[in-house]
């Protein structure tokens, strides 16, 4: 009798601990935004993230997006390294991650070239590398698992289509368009794609490109470059900034020079075009006609990278190249969409409500935490 009840107690406790284990697995699937935090006994997945720097609002939002996802609560230990825009720092960081035997390396590369050696070292150490945002140009694509980021040339082509239609609707001849391109960091995918997109469109439509200068994606460089361009090229009537921070600097420089920022280039205003559309201030500039059009560049890659890591942990193969969907922002109702390579892209009308929504998202931090629709 005694033996029988002991066996029963043992069976029950085994059964309940089995149920408990199942529950724990379901509730704390690695980083699946579970309601239960990772328990202390669970081994955290160590992720080394080499970030370019903090040159722009886009970059800060991108860093926050990564940090908000790779938390101990979600089962991760994040080793974050800010490379201050230097590739040598990024290479050093990756070597440190290898030494620390991290589980995954995430790299947001400052430029495309120069990665073969260090990525080979990571590969030899058996550490999977995920590339995010800009691309790497390596001789063997097996050196990284996959890439997720923006189609920078498409962003530029959408922007140029918008400009073309704006000119058509306002009877502005192509030969009267004088554009200065303030580029991003030279050799970065975002710079390469945006510069190429503009140059192709200028050739096709007959616009004049008066200057192409480096702006490093910063406000200070955007200001400095525009100040000099205004002195050198009095005919310049469009400043094509390769990100919002450069645009903020350009707007300030134009105003400081006693000129008007705006879309009415027929009457002496200087049009500013830009990329990113991250901060509510940038969208407010669109509403105020200080920036005529912004092609969005989406920085919310944290959940996307985490989804990739989960796939790898489950033994699945993530898509090698994953482009994210992006908007175009303008306050001109007359252009509802643009067509690039036979595909139609809607233009999102900037309204006070849209800006308020973005401001609220910013204030509550939900902008960086939001799981984008196209997380696969």
* Binding flag, residue 276, ligand AHR (CB under 6 A): yes
Question: Contacting ligand AHR (CB under 6 A), which of 49, 58, 144, 367?
Answer: 58
Write the interaction track for ligand AHR spanning residues 198-227; mark x where CB under 6 A is met and - where it is not. -------------------x----------
* Binding flag, residue 59, ligand AHR (CB under 6 A): yes
Helices (H), the chain: 2-27, 57-69, 87-99, 116-124, 152-169, 189-205, 219-232, 244-256, 280-287, 302-313, 352-364, 366-369
Helices 116-124 and 87-99: crossing angle in degrees, nearest 10, is 10
Min dist CB 190 to ligand AHR, Å, is 4
CA separation for the pair 80, 292 (Å, rounded): 36
Q: Which residues contact 290 (CB under 8 A, 6 or more apart)?
A: 251, 261, 262, 272
Question: Contacting ligand AHR (CB under 6 A), which of 90, 94, 134, 222?
Answer: 134
Tally the C-alpha atoms within 13 A of residue 107's C-alpha that lie toward its C-beta.
32
Tokens 């898509």 — which residue? 319
Question: Contacting ligand AHR (CB under 6 A), which of 148, 251, 297, 338?
Answer: 297
194 secondary structure, DSSP code:
H
Question: Contacting ligand AHR (CB under 6 A), which of 61, 66, 154, 190?
Answer: 190
Size of the site for ligand AHR (CB under 6 A): 13
Tell me which residues in 325-344 interact with ligand AHR (CB under 6 A): none
| Nearest CB to ligand AHR, comparing residues 105 and 156 | 156
Question: Contacting ligand AHR (CB under 6 A), which of 243, 274, 292, 298?
Answer: 243
Task: Find the part of the chain contacting ligand AHR (CB under 6 A) among 23-31, 55-63, 160-168, 311-319.
Answer: 55-63
| Nearest CB to ligand AHR, comparing residues 152 and 332 | 152
| Nearest CB to ligand AHR, comparing residues 156 and 172 | 156
Task: Find the part of the chain contacting ligand AHR (CB under 6 A) among 52-60, 65-73, 281-289, 337-345.
Answer: 52-60
Q: Which residues contact 275 (CB under 8 A, 6 or more apart)?
A: 155, 156, 159, 190, 194, 241, 242, 243, 244, 294, 295, 296, 297
Residue 362, both tokens: 């910013």
Min dist CB 312 to ligand AHR, Å, is 23
* Binding flag, residue 90, ligand AHR (CB under 6 A): no
CA separation for the pair 142, 128 (Å, rounded): 10
| Nearest CB to ligand AHR, comparing residues 207 and 275 | 275
CA separation for the pair 10, 23 (Å, rounded): 20
Cα 219 → chain centroid: 18
Task: Find the part of the chain contacting ligand AHR (CB under 6 A) among 54-62, 116-124, 137-145, 323-331.
Answer: 54-62
* Binding flag, residue 147, ligand AHR (CB under 6 A): no
> Is the sign of the CA dihedral 22, 27, 28, 32 positive or negative?
positive
* Binding flag, residue 301, ligand AHR (CB under 6 A): no
Beta bridge partners, 239, equal 180, 272
| Nearest CB to ligand AHR, comparing residues 75 and 299 | 299
Q: Kindly list the residues in this chain that would bind ligand AHR in the complex (CB under 6 A).
A: 55-56, 58-59, 133-134, 188, 190, 217, 243, 275-276, 297
């Amino acid at each position: 009798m005694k033996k029988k009840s002991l066996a029963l107690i043992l069976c029950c406790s085994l059964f309940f601990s089995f149920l408990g284990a199942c529950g724990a697995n379901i509730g704390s699937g690695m980083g699946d935004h579970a309601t239960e935090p990772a328990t202390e006994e669970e081994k955290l997945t160590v992720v080394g993230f080499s970030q370019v720097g903090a040159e722009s609002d886009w970059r800060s939002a991108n860093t926050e997006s990564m940090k908000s996802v790779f938390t101990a609560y979600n089962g991760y230990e994040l080793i974050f390294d800010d490379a201050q825009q230097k590739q040598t720092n990024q290479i050093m960081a990756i070597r440190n991650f290898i030494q620390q035997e991290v589980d995954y390396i995430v790299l947001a590369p400052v430029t495309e070239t120069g990665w073969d050696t260090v990525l080979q070292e990571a590969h030899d150490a058996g550490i999977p590398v995920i590339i995010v945002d800009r691309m790497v140009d390596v001789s063997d694509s097996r050196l990284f698992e996959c890439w997720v980021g923006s189609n920078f040339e498409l962003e530029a082509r959408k922007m140029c289509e918008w400009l073309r239609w704006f000119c058509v609707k306002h009877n502005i001849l192509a030969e009267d368009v004088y554009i200065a391109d303030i580029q991003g960091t030279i050799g970065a995918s975002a710079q390469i794609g945006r510069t190429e997109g503009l140059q192709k469109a200028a050739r096709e439509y007959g616009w004049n490109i008066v200057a192409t200068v480096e702006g490093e994606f910063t406000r200070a460089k955007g200001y400095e470059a525009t100040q000099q361009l205004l002195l050198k090229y009095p005919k310049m009537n469009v400043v094509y900034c390769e990100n919002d921070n450069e645009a903020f600097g350009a707007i300030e420089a134009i105003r400081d020079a006693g000129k008007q920022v705006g879309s009415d280039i027929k009457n002496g205003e200087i049009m500013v075009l830009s990329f990113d559309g991250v901060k509510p201030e940038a969208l407010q500039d669109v509403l105020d006609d200080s920036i005529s059009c912004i092609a969005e560049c989406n920085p919310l890659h944290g959940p996307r990278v985490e989804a990739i890591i989960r796939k790898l942990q489950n033994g699945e193969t993530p898509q090698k190249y994953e482009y994210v969907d992006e908007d175009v922002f303008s306050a001109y109702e007359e252009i509802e969409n643009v067509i690039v390579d036979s595909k139609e892209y809607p233009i999102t009308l900037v309204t006070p409500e849209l800006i308020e929504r973005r401001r609220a998202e910013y204030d509550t931090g939900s902008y960086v935490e939001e799981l984008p629709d196209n997380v696969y």
